[in-house]
Amino acid sequence: MPEVKGPRRMGVPFRFAMAHVMGFTSVRNMRFDGRFQSDHETQAMKLPALLLALMASAAMADTPADEAQAMGERLAACAACHGPQGEGMPGSAYYPHLAGKPAGYLFTQLQGFRDGRRHYPQMVYLMRNWDDAWLAQIARHYASLPFVETRHATPPAQHIRDRDHAQALVEHGDASRDLPACASCHGPALNGIEPGVPALAGLPVDYLVAQLGGWMTGARHSIAPDCMSAVVHALQPGEIRLLAGYIATQVPAAGSRPAPAGTWELPRACGGTQALDSAHGVEP
C-alpha cells in the first residue's frame, strides 16, 4: 500500500468522502495513519497499544520473583495511574492503590469495568476485550504486592464535630436507620477482609466521595446482593463527604493486609465476596 502522509495531502473532498464512508460526522475528527480514527479513539488507543507491545516483549517467567517482575512489565501501562507497584499516585486525590487488596475483590472490579457495573472510561476501555483468566492473573499479581503508604493529597481539615460524627458511623453505624458500622465489614482498622471486602484506609478522599456517590446515583454496582448500595442509601445528605474526609485520614501501616477470611462474620450478605477460584469459573 502506498504511504499516505496525512490528511492535509489528501485534500478536503477526499477527506470528506472518506469521513462519510467511515461514518465520521466531521472531517476535523478524522485522522489517517494507516487506518481511520476519531480524535477520541486516537487518545484511547495509546494505552492498550503500549500494553500490547509490553505484553509481547515480556520475558518468560521461571520463579515467582521472575513471574512478578514479568507481570510488572506486562502491566506497565497500569503504572501510569496506579504506580509501578500498584501503590497509587503520590499527591493524587483520586487514583486508588491496588497493592495488597484481596484478589477476589480486584477480580470482580476488573470484571465490573468490563461488564458494565463500573464506568470509568479508561478502565472500561482497557478491560473490554480481556477474558476472566487474564483478569484473574492481574488480580493475583496486585493482591500479592505489599501495601505501601502513599501520601495522597491531604484531605480538607474537618471540624471536630464532623469528625466525631463520621468516626461514630464508621465504628458503630446507626441502628435507628439500619446502618451497620463500616468497621463491621471493613474491619476495625479498615484493612478489609479476604476474599471480597477491600481496605478503605489509604484511599484518597475524592476517590472515596466518587465511589460512595456512585452507589448513591446508581453509577457503581456490585454483584447482588449489593450491600454497599444499601449502606449508602441509608446515609443522609452530606454524610458521604464527612465519611470520605475522615476515612482518608486513616492511613494503614506499611505492609498491612486484609484480615484472613473468616476472621469476622459480615453482618449482611454481600455479593461477589467469594475467593478467586472455581467459584468465579476461573481455575485456581
Which spans of this chain sit near ligand HEC (rule: CB under 6 A)? 47, 75, 77-78, 80-82, 94-96, 98, 101, 105-106, 108-110, 118, 120, 122-123, 126, 138, 169, 180, 182, 184-186, 196-198, 200, 203, 208, 210-212, 222, 227-228, 231, 243, 266-268, 270, 272-273
For residue 229, the minimal CB distance to ligand HEC (Å) is: 9
- 16 or 120, CB closer to ligand HEC? 120
Write phi, then psi, for 40 (nearest 5 degrees). -60, -45
- 225 or 255, CB closer to ligand HEC? 225
- 3 or 131, CB closer to ligand HEC? 131
- 37 or 273, CB closer to ligand HEC? 273
Q: Check if the beta carbon of residue 139 is closer than 8 Å to that of residue 127.
A: no
Q: Look up cell 501501616; give the residue.
A: 253
CA 272, 274, 280, 284 dihedral sign is: positive
| Helices marked H in the chain | 7-10, 12-22, 39-57, 64-74, 76-82, 103-115, 121-127, 132-144, 160-172, 182-186, 205-217, 227-233, 239-247
- 150 or 211, CB closer to ligand HEC? 211
Q: Provide the phi-psi class of 149: left if phi over 0, else alpha when psi is between -120 and 50, else beta.
A: beta
For residue 71, the minimal CB distance to ligand HEC (Å) is: 10
For residue 150, the minimal CB distance to ligand HEC (Å) is: 13
> How many Å apart are CA 140 and CA 7, to the nearest integer?
45
- 7 or 272, CB closer to ligand HEC? 272
For residue 5, the minimal CB distance to ligand HEC (Å) is: 30
> How many Å apart are CA 216 and CA 232, to the nearest integer?
6
For residue 29, the minimal CB distance to ligand HEC (Å) is: 21
For residue 148, the minimal CB distance to ligand HEC (Å) is: 15
> How many Å apart are CA 142 and CA 55, to the nearest integer?
16
